[in-house]
Amino acid sequence: MAQSAMQQLGSRVRAARKKAGLSQAAFAEKCGIDRLYLGRIELGKQNPTVVMLMRIASEAGTDAATLLVGIVIDRDGAMAPSKRPMRSETA
């Protein structure tokens, strides 16, 4: 079963945080958010606002567009992954 868009985004946020070498607690503090909120984003259970996603991306050393690229909604309205690789996968 394909991951939902929120799950895909959460996985990317988690990967960016880990690439930055930070624990959930340290990263959440850096972003100015609660660790449980960050955990829910990473699990795909919480949908961050655009401003929050931009803050998270910035603190992880990336940008929101990189975290979002390739996540699309299919014609049935279900969230489906794109066939395109992320920028970091092509570099």
Distance CA 58, CA 6 (A): 19
Contact (CB, 8 A) for 71 and 79: yes
More confident of the two residues 64 and 78: 64
The 8-class DSSP code of residue 79 comes to E
Give the total residue count for the chain.
91
Superfamily (CATH) of domain 5-90? lambda repressor-like DNA-binding domains (1.10.260.40)
Tell me the residue type at 53: L
Q: Where do the structural domains in the chain lie, given as residue ranges?
A: 5-90
Distance CA 31, CA 82 (A): 28
> Each residue of 15-43: pLDDT tens digit?
999 999 999 999 999 999 999 999 999 99
- Asked whether residue 65 carries a pLDDT value surpassing 70, the answer given is yes
